Amino acid sequence: MFEKILIANRGEIACRVILTARKMGIKTVAVYSDADKDARHVELADEAVNIGPAPSRDSYLQADKIIAACKQTGAQAVHPGYGFLSENAGFAKRVEEEGIVFIGPKHYSIAAMGDKIESKKLAGAAGVNCIPGVNDAIETAEKAVEIAKGIGYPVMIKASAGGGGKGLRVAFNDKEAFEGFTSCRNEARNSFGDDRVFIEKFVEEPRHIEIQLLGDSHGNVIYLNERECSIQRRHQKVIEEAPSPFISDATRQAMGEQAVALAKAVKYQSAGTVEFVVGKDQSFYFLEMNTRLQVEHPVTECITGLDLVELMIRVAAGEKLPLAQKDVRRDGWAIECRINAEDPFRSFLPSTGRLVRFQPPKETMFASDTANLMGVRVDTGVQDGGEIPMFYDSMIAKLIVHGKDRAEAIAKMREALNAFVIRGISSNIPFQAALLAHPKFVAGDFNTGFIAENYAQGFHAEDVPHADPDFLLALAAYVNRRMLGRAAGISGQMPGHGVTVGEAFVVIGLGAGGANTRHPVVVRDFEAKSGSSRIETGASSYEICSNWHLGGARIRGTVNGRPFAAQVERGVGRNPLAIRIAHDGTRLDALVLSPRAAQLHALMPYKAPPDMSRFVLSPMPGLLVEVAVQPGQKVQAGERVAVIEAMKMENVLFATADGVVGKVLAGKGESLSVDQPIVEFV
């Protein structure tokens, strides 16, 4: 067994590998870029080596620097994690040539499966079902349109070296095929250094189901059940679960056996995943093989009780698999939510900056620990006060739950999301909560188009109706009463002028554009010591009891005897007195006032924000890579104005109306902040 391994990655996957290595008594070496010098994976490892500037092409994609770090520290093996160099056959080969073990499949297996064009041909030869398409690299956008017409729309345009949703577009017409081809090539060149692109038929109403494999150097290959990964946004997985609520035992076995046949055909060693697109009649087609550990591997670990990272390390060290196909378990139900640094209320644009608060829910399961299951686990590479840089992927944590069945897993996940506090940047937690509450998701009735169909106009606060909106009002009143209780108890108040607190209040819901709602509430039986109170609003009554401390971002307690967790924030929006309550994905911004103060508030004029419609604003922090207009130019609605790059994705900004460019306010290569003006129209 190795004494020391180097993890050629960053973020949560680097931390995940370090935890298993520590359990196995193996010393670890982290590598880091200038942007990650204070990152969690650097702190967790036994040693750390700086490998260059912040952009990944200058650091985490530099094979020479990683091999040099291995030699410098005496690391005997490299674990590549996922992304970066994990599926780079050239890197795997070079590592082996330098006498270092690559903790993953052999370079020839990566080469065979990493090239999506060649892998299709191999899969077909191995007896695996394949989708119709053109499997040769396409040279021009015009040729792409011609081929797409021949196959018949919709088609999928994919980068041969792609992965993680990068370099992938679905086109429904000639215009989309033309533009999609160009974007795919650019993204693939920037992310993978390989701009070959091919086209295949897009199966409508498809499910994305993948089979987890494990192979060793002794010719043994087994499959560890399947994962359901159909909940995707722009081809990036959002929620994954194991097992799938859709496929039958017969389909599971057929998919598993085909996946194993393919793995054996390329002499596969290590953990790998064969991805299938599955039609509504349970017909399935080979999509691609990921020759690495997957982001969503924890759900498989939960239902099988196996540590996949440990098995990868053991196989790489030459050990045999410790189990056969008949020994593979399938216990309970696991769900994973990817917690991303993006703002769901602003078209999911990336959100970067400092994590002012990062408080995950209480963990009862842990990465690398397969003894404690049926609980909550958080895999992350960040911590309180850490920085979310714009150079890397937007995922900041993975929230995993394991229940005895799907209904219990969904309930656990909703509870855990309520207790997950992230401040300083925006996260997709409200969106995740909305998905988990959606009747079709709960029923298991969805496909890869689920998010596009149900949130076609984007995601808005009103898309998350709360099961009990009066509870949010009651909780706002309760939080306000606790704050007033402290104010009333402060010593040294002038006699006759001390703070006195009544029982009647008005909760004013602060809507967009000054559209407010008013709800009379009564707060009775307040007890400061026990933190209990009875709140009446409308026909509802709530007995709330909590030991919440003022200033705490998370409030836990009981309501009418049932446990709950919610989040509280003061001074939100443009009102320092406003209270924000977040629960089950729904957000209430409110003022809680005495009846007299509420009367006076109604007389206050509404101050509208300034009109910025003449400007094209940067919707996120990022790098301005192109300005496509110049002063005096006439621009039509829908015309390309600028391109911003953030978190490895290109975002094109278009003009929303016809106009003439007055000034260009930002230049190519400039780092932009949110809402920074780029172009002004006259």
> What amino acid positions are annotated as catalytic residues?
288
The Cα–Cα gap between 660 and 658 comes to 7
Dihedral angle over CA of 400, 315, 109, 227, nearest 10: -20
Dihedral angle over CA of 57, 380, 346, 634, nearest 10: 0
Decide: 507 and 473 in contact? Cβ < 8 Å. Answer: yes
Give the count of beta carbons closer than 10 Å to the beta carbon of residue 625. 17
The Cα–Cα gap between 312 and 321 comes to 10
Decide: 51 and 62 in contact? Cβ < 8 Å. Answer: yes
Give the count of beta carbons closer than 10 Å to the beta carbon of residue 167. 27
From the number of C-beta atoms within 10 Å of its C-beta (0-12, 13-18, 19+), residue 55 rates as middle
The Cα–Cα gap between 400 and 373 comes to 11
**With the C-alpha atoms ordered 77, 81, 83, 88, is the resulting torsion angle positive or negative?**
positive
The Cα–Cα gap between 620 and 346 comes to 9
The Cα–Cα gap between 495 and 81 comes to 66
Decide: 421 and 359 in contact? Cβ < 8 Å. Answer: yes
Q: Residue 379 belongs to what H/E stretch?
A: strand 376-380
- β-bridge mates for residue 353, sequence order: 388
Decide: 454 and 440 in contact? Cβ < 8 Å. Answer: yes
Q: What is the DSSP letter of 79?
A: E
From the number of C-beta atoms within 10 Å of its C-beta (0-12, 13-18, 19+), residue 601 rates as middle
